Every structure is written in C-alpha cells, then in structure tokens.
Amino acid sequence: MKMTETSRLQVDRGSIIQKEIERFPSIYLEGAACCGKTTAARMFLRQAADANFRTEELDLQRENDRERLPEVLAEMLVQGTDAEDRTGCCLFLDNYSMLLPEKLRKRICDTIGRLPKENHILLAGREKPDHLLLELLWHGEMGMITQPMLAFTEKELRSFLKEMNSRLSSKTVYAKSGGWPGIAALLPVLEKTRGQEQEISVSGLLTGYEMQVLLQEEILGSLSEDEKYCVQLASLADGILPYALEKICSSENRMDAGEDLERKGIFYRRRQQEKFFVWEIFRPAREPEKADEMRQMIARLYEEQENLQEAGKLWEKLGGKEWKAFCLRHYTEIPFLSLNYRKAGKWEEKGADHRLLYLKGMLAVQQKNQKALQTCIQKLQKMKQTEAREAVCNLQFASPWMSGKDWFRLLEESFSDEQKCRLYHPVGSSVSCLWGLRDMAFVFADLRREQNRYTRIWKKCLERKEQAYLEFARAEYLAETFREKEITQEHRERLQEYAAEMPEQYVPVLAKINGQLGFTEEHAAEKDREKQGERLMQENEQTRLRFILAKAAFAGPIKRQKYHTELREVFGNNLAKWSVEGEFYPLFAYTRLLLREKQYAAAEQILDRIRPEAEKMDSSRIIAEILFMQAIVHHQKKQYASALRETAQSFAISDRFRYGRFYTEYDETGSELLHAYLDSQKQQEQPHVKRKSYHYSNILQAPETEYLRILIRKSGRQMKQNSMAAVQNKERLTPTEKLLLADLEEGLSNKQIAEKHSLEISTVKTHLQHLYKKLGVSSRTKAVFMGKKQELLG
C-alpha cells in the first residue's frame, strides 16, 4: 500500500504497539491531541490486517459508533476464527474519555478483562487512565503507552527530513517541538508550500497561520483551564518547580498538573532536574497582560521557600526597583549565586547603605579591581553601625590583596566577645573550607603559639557557625597532610555535631570532608544532610554540580567513574558556563576529575582557561595543584622539560604548607613526575650533609627529599588500592551477571536474554537490577559503558 508523505514518519510507531501487545492483550494510548497516538494505532491496525487479523476502528465521540459498540464488544468475546480464516480480531476505540457514560466505560473494561488471547483492544484518550482502566493496569490485563514514548528522536527526524528532501535542521525541529509527531511531520509539508524561497526557518513555519491553528485549537485548546494556566506560568518563569504549581494552581489536581502536562508532551524536564519546562513551540506568542505580576507571584513563592537562585532569576528578569530590592534583601548571598548583579555597580547610593557598598565591593573583588574595593571599604569605615564593620571584614576576607595575618589583626580590632562578626559565606563557590574564599592553611601550618592565637581570635570574634567552619578547615588540613590520626574521637564527634547545624549550602563541603576523613554515612545527622542535599540539588543545578564534584573528588576508582558518567550525562558540554566570574571552583574540580580519568585533552582545554584566573587568587593550594595538573598534561605529551619545570614550581609554592594528598591522586603519571622531581632534587643535594631528625608522621618537619619519598610511597599505595578495587569489582559480579552484561553489549532485549538462557523474564529483570546496583548505573547503555571502563567485558 502506498504511504502518504505524512505517515511515512509514523510508520515505525506501529512497532511500539507491537512490542507492548506481546506483553499485554490490550493497550491504552494516552496523550494530547495530534501527538501521534491515533496514527500509531492505525499503523498497527494496518500491520495486523497484513498479518491476517480482522481490524475495526470506532470513534467514541461519534454517536453512531457508540451505538454499534455493544455489538462489536460482544463479537470480541467470541473465541476462535471466522469463516475467512482470520487469526484474531483487533479493535481500536479512539477518544476514550471519562465524559463517556460510566456504564459504557464499564462495558469496555469488562470486555478487556475477558478477552480471548487472540483478540486485542486498543484505547486512545487524552486523559490519565480512570479507576476502571487502573484496575486492568494493576492486574496486568492492559499496558499503557504515553506521549513521550511516541515522540521522535533527533536521529529519526534527521532520516525523515532527508527522505522528504527538506532543508530544515533536525536539531532545531527537535529543540522547538520535542519530537512531537504531528508537528514534526507537518513542518516539511508546510515548507514545500512556501515554494523555492532561499530562507525558510523552522521558527517562521511554526509562527505561520496553519501551524498556529493546529497548536491553539487542536492541542492547547484541548487542555483544561488549569493546564493552560500552568503552561503560561512555566513559560513566563522559564521553567517551574512542582511545589510552585501546587501552591499557585486552584484545581484539586494541582499536585499532578506538571506531571500530567509532561505525560501529554507539553512539559519536559532537563535531565535529572525536577523543574518543568515548556517546549518552545507551546510557549505563548505574546505575553499576557499581567505577565510581570505572575512572575512576581512565582518569585515571591520561591523566596518564601528560600530558593534564592530561582527567585533571583525572576527578579533579575523583572529588573528595575524589584531586582535592586531583592539584591539588597539578600545581599550576603547574592555574590555566591549564579546571578548577574553587575548593575549593582551603577546603582545610586542614597544615604549610608552598607548592603549596596558590600555588593559593589564584592563586584570589585570578582573583577580584580583593587581601587574600587578600597573606595567601598573607605565609605564603609565611615559608618558607625556594626553591619558596616561586618561588611568590611567580609570584603577583606574575600580580598586577594590582604594577607591572612592582616585580616586576623583587623578582625581582632573590630570585634570582641560582646560584639561578634558573621562571615557571610566563607566557602564561596568552592567545595572546601580550607581553600574557599581565603586559603586558611597558614593558620594550621604556623608555630603552635601562632595557631593558638589565631584560634583564640577566631572564637572570640566570630559566631558559632564560623567556629564550625574553622574546625572543618583544620580537619581538611590534617587530611591534606596525611595526619588524620591526629583527629581525636572528641574532634570527630564535634565535627558531626557541627555538621547537623550547618546551612544547606554546606552539604557539598561536608561531603568532601567526609570523603577525606573516611566518615561513614551511618550517622543519623549525616543521613539528614544527604536528604537535604538531594532536595537542594533538585531545586538548584549549581548545588547539584558542586555536590557531585565533591563526592567525585575523593571517591575510589569505581565510584569515581560513576560520578564522571553522571556529570557527563547531567551537564554534558554545558560545563563551560561554570567558568564565569565567581564560578572557578566547579570547573577546577571537574578538571581534576578528567585527569584522574586520564582524559588529558579535555582537561588541557579547561586548564588553559582557568590558570590565569587561579594566578589572581590568594590560594597557594589551588595554584600548586593547577601547576601539577599542567605538568601531568605535558608529561603525557612527552614534553618532559616543561613537566619537570611546572612540578618544581608547584612544590615551590606549596612547600610552606606541605600539601600532600593531591600529589598522590594522579596514578602512574603523577607517580612518574614525583620520581623525576626527586631525582632532580637529589642531584642538587650537597653530599655528606647530615639529615635532620624529624617525626615520620609529620611531613611538615621532613626535609624536602624525605617529603617527596613519603609522597611517592603514598602514591604507590593509592595505585595499589585502586587496582585492588577494580579487581574486587570484577570479582563481585556473579557468573550470571557477567553473562547478562555480555548480552547487553550485544543489544539483546530482556525477552531474547530469557530465551537464550532459559530464564523467566522476571528473573532476568532481577539479575539486571543487581547488576546495575553493583555498577552504580541505571540503564543498559550505562551498564555496558561502565563494563568496558572497568574491563568487565571480554
């Protein structure tokens, strides 16, 4: 049979139903108008007729078809073949709805529950299954296909557009339509009606009269008023969180509004985010009259929920006085959110407003403008209120032009036991208390007397939260210098107590420290922090990135690969955006992960961009590791002289603080560099010089060559542990799981695997779930990828 051009795109949609019909005798197709469910059902009916099935289609919106329905349903219950030697019957009932009489719906569902095995019924509707259909779904008497299952991939669109001789970009069509079958199929038809114009854009076709009638009358017109309102809100807010819909919508089904629209293909979620977005094609062409009022309503809701990142995006879009007022309300947080507050530099200072001066000062720090920073500080120093002095201390804490010792002197002069200071966000964008906004290593590497003095000033002048910060920084430094044994049980308990009190923004920091110190996650407070972190990650993509990086930074080789896979899947090529001002640390952490995964070319590209930024920072720890990273890249490229020179520079910078841990985490390449640098240092040693005695466990006291030998030994042990972990992971798979992993590589389905090994499909699924859990993945593709990475496949 000759296919029409429009249906050629849909021809393989019948195979989706065929796959489900092998598992269930009947299928319910759910989706909005023009989403392809009816066309897919007709394609299946055509294939069924070719296979000698009797087929029939009834539209339940037509009165004549409803009158015929009881007779047809009675025929469906008759077992056996008819006179024409047919092998069975397939009935398609279109436009099933809860508006139909309940008696009729009960008759349909009763028939489905008693169907002979050779007969099938397909239902298509725009609503979620009612309670009658749910009964059938629960008992396995019916399957379900939703609109996202019918949507087309970019690859399918590319093939179709090529077949149609279309000049449209498959990538653009998919980005704007989400692979919506009816729309994607209509675009090349509309393209031909425009003649041989040189410039025909997807956007132009989508805004045309024909497409707008289809969208407004057939698709969006079929939505409920509440659903239309949700589409408006999500469009104006550039994506919306589920709890916002729940609070704003008036319908009884408001909790499900976002999920319903996602099932219908109007909404989508970006990767693993909880946020709902509207496909571009369904966004209103013109904003409603009260668009700004609606944005303000959502922004206030986010602000009430303390989701400042999302609230800030909306206030920023509104601009003007509202944006300025929001920035001043949350001036302590704004510099550490991914929001563009550069306009604060031009805002007029009316009276003595320490909040605005603090924002301008932080802009000056980020833009490395020392003169502008000093101007803000001088104006703040003229003010008498405590908040102004607090703002000065915070600006100087973030300033790369003030030394740590001078900052402690300033803190002691400005505050006391009676009037304590707050540090607004000492971690900044980092995942470390030790090298956040300021490198705190000097506090712990100095003489014991000076350490005690710094600690006394800190406790005297700062609040309890900041005391916790210092304890975490101390623990990090001991871990960096391999002195975890100096952390007493009392200190550990104090850290756990502080962890339960820290704000949610510190969840990634705590994850990093736990990885360094080997804390278990069995502690109740730690479990609570994990849950808070998961919730925060759903709301804030920035926190999600930092959290994964913190976990990955100190994970073993098996889990590290899992986190790397997740990063690539969740953030893809968009990681470059984290290199903007104030977002140096996430990109730095991702670079070290790339190097530990031996992806040298990708790491080098990022290093070239972040090294100039690092050199402007007051952090010997960051600069030392970046130099060592570049040495690893050059060593891999066989540029040995450059690699050795950069290694020497790295050790020259870090020598005072004797950072050790990061030098041992780059496997063979890092170890080779350490050996080469040790050899060069031996040549410079003066012969017959007596070695000074030192305590072996304290690398701060060791001579440089001994310090290097300790690092080499630690690096060797780390490589051995990584190797053993890989072997253990390989051995912990059962023989059956290894077989199934090989079957997944071949692309076999669950049914084919079951037939191959004479297993039940349910048994295959159970084995696969165990396999996924051991590999730390959630899909077949990821399992095969991880299997190859860990050399589990032949």
Tens digit of pLDDT for each residue in 401-457? 999 999 999 999 999 888 899 999 888 878 788 888 888 988 998 888 898 999 999
The pLDDT of residue 308: 87
Instruction: Tell me: pLDDT of 223 over 80.
Output: yes
The pLDDT of residue 379: 93
Question: Could you tell me the end-to-end alpha-carbon distance of the chain, in angstroms, rounded to an integer?
Answer: 46
* Rounded distance between C-alpha atoms, residue 311 and residue 302, angstroms: 5
Instruction: Tell me: pLDDT of 518 over 70.
Output: no
**pLDDT tens-digit readout, 335-388:** 888 788 888 888 888 777 899 999 999 999 988 899 999 999 999 999 988 999
- 85-99, 577-591, 723-737: which has the highest mean pLDDT? 85-99
**pLDDT tens-digit readout, 640-688:** 999 999 999 999 998 888 888 889 888 888 889 999 998 888 877 655 5
Q: What are phi and psi of 334, to 5 degrees?
A: -50, -45
Angle 493-498-504 from CA coordinates, rounded to 5°:
135
Phi-psi region of 462 (alpha: psi -120 to 50; beta: other; left: phi over 0): beta
The pLDDT of residue 561: 63
The pLDDT of residue 377: 94
Instruction: Tell me: pLDDT of 526 over 80.
Output: no
pLDDT averaged over the chain? 80
**pLDDT tens-digit readout, 683-722:** 776 555 455 555 555 677 778 888 888 888 888 887 776 6
Q: What is the DSSP letter of 29?
A: E
Residues 6+ positions from 587 with CB-CB distance below 8 Å: 575, 576, 578, 579, 606, 609, 610
* Rounded distance between C-alpha atoms, residue 556 and residue 725, angstroms: 8
**pLDDT tens-digit readout, 264-297:** 888 888 655 678 888 888 888 778 888 888 999 9
Are the C-beta atoms of residues 513 and 491 closer than 8 Å to each other? no
Strand order in the sheet with 26-30: 54-59, 89-96, 120-125, 26-30, 143-146
Instruction: Tell me: pLDDT of 1 over 60.
Output: no
Instruction: Tell me: pLDDT of 522 over 50.
Output: no
The pLDDT of residue 284: 80
Q: What is the DSSP letter of 219?
A: I
For residue 61, how many other CB atoms are within 10 A of its CB?
13
Region 755-759 average pLDDT: 80
User: Is residue 267 within a helix (H) or strand (E), and if so which, with residue range?
Assistant: strand 267-269
- For the chain, give the percent of residues with pLDDT over 90: 20
User: Is residue 377 within a helix (H) or strand (E), and if so which, with residue range?
Assistant: helix 370-381
Q: Enumerate the H helices of 483-556 as residue ranges.
A: 489-501, 507-517, 524-539, 541-553
Instruction: Tell me: pLDDT of 749 over 80.
Output: yes
Distances (CA, A) of 296 to 242, 307, 335, 341: 17, 14, 22, 18
The pLDDT of residue 80: 52
Residue with the bigger pLDDT between 500 and 654: it is 654
Instruction: Tell me: pLDDT of 396 over 90.
Output: yes
Strand 26-30 relative to strand 120-125: parallel, antiparallel, unpaired?
Answer: parallel
The pLDDT of residue 704: 81
Residue with the bigger pLDDT between 127 and 589: it is 127
The pLDDT of residue 407: 94
Strand 267-269 relative to strand 143-146: parallel, antiparallel, unpaired?
Answer: unpaired
* Rounded distance between C-alpha atoms, residue 562 and residue 37, angstroms: 37
Are the C-beta atoms of residues 651 and 613 closer than 8 Å to each other? no
The pLDDT of residue 418: 86
